[in-house]
Structure formats: C-alpha cells, structure tokens
C-alpha cells in the first residue's frame, strides 16, 4: 500500500460546477489518475480499488461532457495505462492498444446504444447488435504472428508502447506457437493473461511454505509472473490466456466481431465461453445480470462485462475518441464498501499550489486491498460531508481501485469532535493561501518560492509522460533537490558536474551513476509535445501538448505564438469576451479544436511578461536540449493531412461528429471557427456565418459531396 493519497469524487455536482471549478477539477483528476495508472500498470501495486479508480474516470468524463472545450491534452480520457517499465525492451504498437469507456448503471448502457444510433444516424427500427463478454481482470497483451508463426509479444504499456515479453509468453500453453489454416501474413491477436482462483491459491500456498512473500490477488500474481526476467520462472507459473481482439492485420478477418471470435477458436485460441450476442440494450443488461450472478463461480476474476458492436463496418465508421473506441464499453460491477475511522487530516501542496486535504484512515481492507488514506479534494468537500477527525466513515473502492469516503456515520461520532478548519496559509512555505472567486480550490500564492510547488514541478518534469529519464524517479529528485544539486529543470542536464558527489551517496555506485548520466544524455533530444507537457502548465496535459505541437510545429514557432498571445491577453484583459477581441495570435490559439479560452488563458499566463522565472527556465532548457520539430502526420498520404478543416451546417450522409472523427483520422486539423489559416470549410445544409466568413476570407468551400470525393468517399 502506497502512502500517497487517493481521490474521492468531489461533493460539488457536475451540473453545479463553474467553468473555473471544472478546469481545476480536470487538472487534479488528470494528475491523480496518472499516478494510479503508474501504480497499476508499471508496479502492479494499485493503491485503490477498481471501483474507486473508475469513479475518478467517470467524474472526469462527466465534467468533459459538460465542458467539452476544456478537455485537456493529458486528459485521462485520452490516455491508456502507463509507460512501460524498465527491464524489458520496448515495443511500439503498430495499432495502439486502447482502453475502454465505462458504464456503471443500466442507463449508461442504454445511452451507449443511443450514442451509436446518433453517430451512425440509424433508423429507430434497426437493431444494434453487440457481442458481450466478461471483462477479465488480468494483463492485456498483444501477440504478433508472421506467416502463421508467433514472432513477438508485448504488454499494453501506455497504449502506444509496451514491454517485450515474447519469451515469457511462449511458456503459456494457451498461446499457440503456429496457427493452422488460412492466416494473414501479419496478424496481431490481443487478449488477457490471467491466473485462475485455484492456481492462485496453489501458488500462494507453495510460496508461503517456501518462506516467500505471497501475492495480494490473482492479477498481481499474473502480472508479476509475466514480467519475470527469467522465462523459466514464468514457465512454472500457471498463466492462462483468453483472446478477444486484434491489432495490425494484413488482410480482412471477418465481417462481424462474432465471426472473428470463431476464427480465433479455429486457430487454437481460447475464447471466453460466456460470450453472447445481444440485439438490444435490454439483452445486454440481461447478460450483465446473468454473468454477475455466476461471477463467483467462474473460477477467475472479472470486474464487469464488455459490449462491442458486432458489425465491423460499423466499428470502422464509429472509430475512436481519444483513448477508447466508440464501438465498445465496459459495464462495471458495483463497488465494495467498508467502514473505518479518520485518524487525521493533512494538507498536501501540489505543483500548481493547490492545497489538497488528505484523510489518514485506520487501515481497512476493501475488495482485497488495504486502504489507509483518501483525498478529500477541497474545503467544500470536507464541509458538505462534515468530515471530522475521529469520525467513522464508509469507504468505497470504486471500480475496485480508488478509495473514496462515501459518507460519515454520524451516530458513531465521538464526543468533542470539532469541525475541521481549513488553513489560510501554505503549510510548506507560509505564504497566504487564497480561494479565488468561482474556484473550489484554495491555492498557495507562493509560486516557485514555495518549495513544495518547485519540487512537484521537477517530479512532473521527469515523469513517464514527460522526459521519462530512467533511474531518476521522484525520490531521487527529492534527494538531489534537498542537497542543492537540482534547483530547476535545466540542472538535471548538468548533473554530470556532480558525478563525484552522487557516487558518494548511499545506494549509488560507479555503474548506477554512469547509467543515470547516460539516460539523461539520451533525453537531450525530445519531441516538442513531451517538452510542452513537461513544463507543467496548468490545464495542459498530454493531449493538449500534442495538439499544440502539431499546430505550431517547432519550439520557436510555439513560443513566439504564445508570447504574442500573452501580450495580447495582457493588453486587452478587459475586452476578452471573445478571442477575436483579444488579438490574432490569441484567437488562433483558441481556434485549435478542443482548446478554448480557459486553456488559452493558462498558456498566456505562463508566458506573461511578468513571469520572469518561466522565461528563464525556457531559455535555460533551450541551451541544454534539442527540441525535435513535429514530424509529418501519420496519414501523410492523405489529401487532407496537415490541413485545417471547419465543418458547418447539417450533413446528409454522415453526422458532424462522424465527419470530424474521419477528418482527424486522416491527419487533418479540425477547427471550430474560420480564419485566414483555414484550408477548407465543408458546407452542409443551413450553413450560417462560417460559410459567409469563408467567402470573405477567400477560403475554399466544399460541398459534402466534394468533401467525400476529396477524402476518397
């Protein structure tokens, strides 16, 4: 169990959030979920239950649905898993291994079916058939076959890059080494490695008898077994495999998902026997109830049921949104709960200065995981639930991963328990802590003067999604910073000047220091998107960083544009009702799809002329690093790759949502308004001011038919 806190759902309903509160909440959720992804995917050591984790993701999705213009680049909805751990070679997935959106109740499932109908514009009487199957609680992997022979196997990792565990996977009896019959020259089979309850019990009995540490649960046992550096150890572990999907394939596999599963079986893969076809939402819900009733008898862990649209041509049209396919969803089982006592409330200071209260709990086991702390989010959350030190509370691990305080059991409150008083000064630096109008967060005003903020920003800078320097984790950053070896990000790249000092530190030797310095040197060249993300600008996550990098192309162009946007914002603060009223650079920034004024303001603030420290950091890093320009879009052979497209009016052959998704998949940039940098405006029926502005600016306009002809139908 980690000592780091976990998150709970905020007490403020999504529908009551102001835009400022929503932005702050999305930023906190992005950081918290990323931390739990690292614990779960890299360390196989979840700090919260699946149910609690899912609750965080659900909260994030609900806020994004209400404030779509605030979706962050590092949003959990755009991210899968965590970066691969060290110790294994890395494998770049030809087709990303995405995660799934979640449904937690019957209405969520019905809405999933309704969304499919809306996106595809289906008639009311046309059935939407899905394939439902148990969601195995194991380790997702991909198996690459070349001319029918098993050639490579990898974990999911962060969805784009995983660990090469080929030799370990060869030891699993459910994974065939060769495939019979007609097989595409290249075929990636995807599925789940897991351990049965019976085999898990036997393994732990043997380990206990041998005086070895026992595994906490079957998933941890499966993940730990698959990640053995010695394949002979993996071979002795009773791992199993269910196949359920595919990645790269050199030929068409089937017309329906159901038929693909039959092909999997014909090639010798095990497919879950509980798989069923469902012709409606009610059929799917019936399957969920049926599997839920027999869950304890299946012999392996599951945490829900996955529904996938059966028709593959519909799957292709539906495509993907961020980290998940539109054509699939995971219907989770209810969370487990337990009661415990709040032993204390502490304040942690994040990299943006947010003061986050953390409940220290009497350790309690919930769903097989020991819970000892939970985040209390903010001042309002504590006040609305009236949480006091000494209270007995109900704790829930939502989604079986993340602990949250559900309620206080008032009748068990001890005499004399007093209401919690939120601090008005930072506990780390003593600076005034303020809560701005419209925000839920109390924030330290110390900025980089605050040691907590400076330290957390340094940790963020070397994080997995940022510079990802092997051997330089949070503990090392804390130690080097405390001893004055690192003060700012640029100092990391000058650690070679302190090599002698580091060698004398406990736990460091000649080889480990050489390895660290080599890893730092390897990161002197980094992509623009990772560099932007590493700066830790509020509301700029991984996805937003990629959008910015793709839109501006180079560090010089991005910085010049941000400084111009910042100057415009500074000069026209009173006139910022619309982006156009601020200035051209600011308006261009806001015009990037999914970046609105809230994110633009954070970027402008970071580059504000008064923020001398930020400019110093950028100048310092520019001397130490080579920031790679953005490569051409993956769909470079597409006629719209790199083009900026705006859709306006009603389309007849596809919905606007489908049209935008298709354009982005082909490498285009979809904007929300027309500017002189727009390449095409696709005009549907009842088009309004955007078509008029295109004509005024001389931007090319296309009918829907012309657009379809341009992109190849």
Residues 572 and 690 both lie in one domain? no
More confident residue, 355 or 712: 355
Rounded distance between C-alpha atoms, residue 527 and residue 537, angstroms:
17
Residues 624 and 692 both lie in one domain? no
Residue 510 lies in a domain: no
pLDDT for the residue 315: 94
Residue 698 has pLDDT above 70, yes or no: yes
pLDDT for the residue 79: 56
**Distance of CA 245 to CAs 126, 259, 271, 294, Å?**
25, 11, 10, 24
pLDDT for the residue 322: 66
pLDDT for the residue 10: 40
Residue 101: HSE in the Cβ half-sphere, 13 Å Cα cutoff: 24
Residue 697 lies in a domain: yes
Residue 554 lies in a domain: yes
pTM for the structure as a whole: 0.56
Residues 617 and 648 both lie in one domain? no
**Distance of CA 448 to CAs 540, 562, 612, Å?**
18, 21, 11
Residue 320 has pLDDT above 50, yes or no: yes
pLDDT for the residue 264: 96
CATH, residue 179: 3.30.470.30
Mean pLDDT is lowest, of 170-179, 203-212, 251-260, for: 203-212
Q: How confident is the model at residue 279 (pLDDT cuts 50, 70, 90)?
A: very high
Residue 622 has pLDDT above 60, yes or no: yes
Dihedral (CA of 552, 556, 559, 564) sign: negative
Which domain-ending residue is among 582, 597, 628?
A: 628
Residue 144 has pLDDT above 70, yes or no: yes
CA neighbor of 73 nearest in space, from 33, 27, 42: 27
Residues 147 and 252 both lie in one domain? yes
Mean pLDDT is lowest, of 4-8, 578-582, 605-609, for: 4-8
Beta strand pairing call for 669-670 and 336-349: unpaired
Residue 120 lies in a domain: yes
Residue 51 lies in a domain: no
Mean pLDDT is lowest, of 450-459, 549-558, 646-655, for: 646-655
pLDDT for the residue 471: 85
pLDDT for the residue 55: 78
b/e code 181-213 from CB counts within 10 Å (16+ = b): eebbebbbbbbbbbbbeebbeebbeeeeeeeee
Tokens encoding 116: 């499919």
Phi and psi at residue 204, in whole multiples of 5°?
Answer: -65, -35
Residues 227 and 118 both lie in one domain? yes
Residue 657 lies in a domain: yes
Q: What is the mean pLDDT of residues 470-483?
A: 89
CATH, residue 680: 3.40.50.10190
Highest mean pLDDT among 275-284, 466-475, 672-681: 275-284
Q: How confident is the model at residue 398 (pLDDT cuts 50, 70, 90)?
A: low
Residue 150 lies in a domain: yes
pLDDT in tens, 365-391: 776 667 788 878 889 989 999 999 999
Rounded distance between C-alpha atoms, residue 21 and residue 441, angstroms:
8
Rounded distance between C-alpha atoms, residue 130 and residue 240, angstroms:
26
Rounded distance between C-alpha atoms, residue 443 and residue 706, angstroms:
52
Dihedral (CA of 258, 262, 267, 273) sign: positive
Residue 29 lies in a domain: no
Residues 597 and 662 both lie in one domain? no
Q: How confident is the model at residue 82 (pLDDT cuts 50, 70, 90)?
A: very low
Residues 704 and 616 both lie in one domain? no
Residues 208 and 271 both lie in one domain? yes
Q: How confident is the model at residue 296 (pLDDT cuts 50, 70, 90)?
A: confident
Which domain-ending residue is among 304, 321, 338?
A: 321
Catalytic residue among 135, 332, 662, 669: 135
Q: How confident is the model at residue 282 (pLDDT cuts 50, 70, 90)?
A: very high
- Percentage, residues of the chain above pLDDT 70: 92
More confident residue, 609 or 76: 609
Mean pLDDT is lowest, of 73-77, 90-94, 223-227, 418-422, for: 73-77
Which residues make beta-bridge pairs with 328?
308
Is 643 a catalytic site residue?
Answer: no
First to last CA, the chain: 53
CATH, residue 553: 1.10.150.20
Which domain-ending residue is among 628, 662, 692?
A: 628
Rounded distance between C-alpha atoms, residue 257 and residue 259, angstroms:
5
Q: Which domain holds residue 592?
A: 529-628
pLDDT in tens, 182-224: 899 999 999 999 999 999 989 989 888 888 888 878 888 888 8
pLDDT for the residue 6: 37
365: left (phi over 0), alpha (psi -120 to 50) or beta: beta
Rounded distance between C-alpha atoms, residue 263 and residue 67, angstroms:
42
More confident residue, 558 or 212: 558
In the 3-class helix/strand/coil scheme, how is 176-193 assigned residue by residue?
CCECCCCCCCEEEEEEEE
Residues 648 and 568 both lie in one domain? no
Q: What is the mean pLDDT of residues 341-361?
A: 91
Rounded distance between C-alpha atoms, residue 525 and residue 502, angstroms:
24
CA neighbor of 569 nearest in space, from 556, 580, 553, 558: 580
Residue 84 has pLDDT above 50, yes or no: no
What average pLDDT is seen over the chain? 86
More confident residue, 444 or 9: 444
Asked whether the beta carbons of 576 and 597 are under 8 A apart, the reply is: yes
Residues 660 and 543 both lie in one domain? no
Residues 98 and 192 both lie in one domain? yes
pLDDT for the residue 7: 38
Residues 104 and 248 both lie in one domain? yes
Q: What total of structural domains would you count in the chain? A: 3
């Amino acid at each position: 169990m980690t000592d780091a806190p976990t998150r709970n759902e905020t007490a403020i309903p999504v529908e009551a959030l102001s835009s400022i509160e929503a932005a702050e909440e999305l930023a906190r959720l992005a950081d918290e979920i990323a931390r739990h992804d690292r614990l779960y995917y890299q360390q196989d050591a979840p700090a919260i239950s699946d149910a609690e984790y899912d609750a965080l993701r659900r909260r994030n999705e609900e806020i994004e649905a209400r404030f779509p213009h605030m979706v962050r680049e590092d949003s959990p909805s755009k991210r899968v898993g965590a970066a691969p751990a060290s110790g294994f070679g890395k494998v770049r997935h030809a087709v990303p291994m995405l995660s799934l959106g979640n449904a937690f109740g019957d209405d969520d499932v019905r809405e999933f079916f309704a969304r499919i109908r809306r996106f595809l514009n289906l008639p009311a009487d046309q059935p939407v058939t899905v394939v439902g199957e148990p969601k195995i609680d194991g380790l997702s992997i991909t198996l690459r076959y070349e001319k029918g022979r098993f050639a490579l196997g990898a974990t999911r990792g962060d969805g784009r890059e995983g660990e090469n565990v080929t030799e370990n996977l060869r030891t699993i009896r459910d994974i065939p080494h060769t495939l019979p019959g007609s097989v595409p020259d290249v075929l990636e089979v995807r599925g789940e490695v897991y351990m049965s309850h019976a085999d898990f019990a036997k393994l732990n009995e043997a380990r206990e008898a041998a005086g070895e540490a026992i595994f906490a649960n079957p998933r941890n046992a499966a993940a730990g077994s698959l990640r053995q550096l010695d394949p002979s150890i993996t071979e002795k572990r009773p791992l199993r495999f269910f196949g359920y999907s595919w990645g790269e394939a050199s030929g068409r596999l089937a017309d329906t998902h159901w038929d693909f599963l039959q092909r999997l079986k014909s090639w010798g893969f095990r497919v879950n026997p509980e798989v069923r076809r469902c012709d409606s939402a009610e059929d799917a819900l019936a399957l969920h109830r049926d599997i839920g009733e027999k869950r304890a008898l299946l012999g392996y862990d599951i945490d829900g049921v996955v529904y996938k649209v059966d028709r593959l041509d519909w799957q292709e049209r539906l495509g993907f949104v961020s980290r998940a396919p539109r054509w699939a969803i995971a219907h989770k089982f209810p969370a487990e709960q337990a009661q415990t006592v709040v032993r204390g409330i502490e304040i942690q200071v994040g990299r943006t200065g947010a003061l986050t209260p953390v409940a220290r709990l009497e350790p309690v086991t919930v769903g097989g995981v020991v819970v000892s702390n939970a985040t209390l989010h903010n001042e309002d959350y504590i006040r609305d639930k009236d949480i006091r030190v000494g209270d007995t509370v109900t704790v829930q691990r939502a989604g079986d991963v993340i602990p949250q305080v559900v309620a206080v059991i008032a009748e068990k409150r001890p005499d004399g328990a007093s209401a919690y008083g939120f601090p008005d000064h930072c506990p780390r630096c003593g600076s005034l802590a303020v809560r701005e109008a419209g925000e839920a967060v109390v924030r330290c005003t110390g900025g980089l003067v605050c040691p907590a903020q400076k330290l957390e920003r340094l940790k963020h800078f070397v994080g997995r999604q940022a510079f990802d320097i092997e051997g330089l984790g949070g503990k090392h950053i804390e130690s080097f910073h405390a001893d004055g070896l690192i003060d700012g990000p640029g100092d990391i790249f000058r650690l070679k000047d302190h090599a002698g000092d580091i060698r004398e530190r406990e736990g460091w030797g000649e080889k480990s220091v050489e390895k660290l310095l080599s890893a730092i040197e390897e990161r002197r060249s980094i992509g623009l998107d990772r560099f932007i993300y590493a700066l830790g600008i509020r509301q700029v996550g991984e996805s937003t960083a990629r959008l910015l990098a793709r839109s501006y192309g180079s560090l010089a162009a991005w910085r010049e544009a941000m400084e111009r946007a910042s100057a415009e914002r500074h000069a026209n603060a009173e006139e910022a009702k619309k982006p156009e009223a601020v200035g051209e650079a600011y308006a261009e920034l806001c015009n990037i799809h999914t970046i609105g004024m809230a994110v633009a303001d954070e970027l402008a603030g970071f580059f504000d002329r008064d923020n001398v420290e930020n400019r110093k950091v950028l100048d310092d890093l520019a001397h130490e690093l080579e920031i790679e320009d953005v490569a051409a879009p993956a769909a470079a052979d597409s006629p719209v790759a790199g083009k900026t497209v705006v859709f306006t009016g009603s389309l007849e052959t596809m919905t606007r949502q489908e049209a935008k998704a298709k354009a982005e998949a082909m490498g285009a940039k979809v904007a929300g308004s027309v500017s002189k940098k727009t390449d095409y405006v696709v005009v549907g029926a009842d088009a309004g001011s955007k078509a008029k502005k295109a004509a005024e600016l001389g931007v090319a306009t296309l009918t829907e038919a012309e657009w379809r002809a341009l992109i190849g139908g």
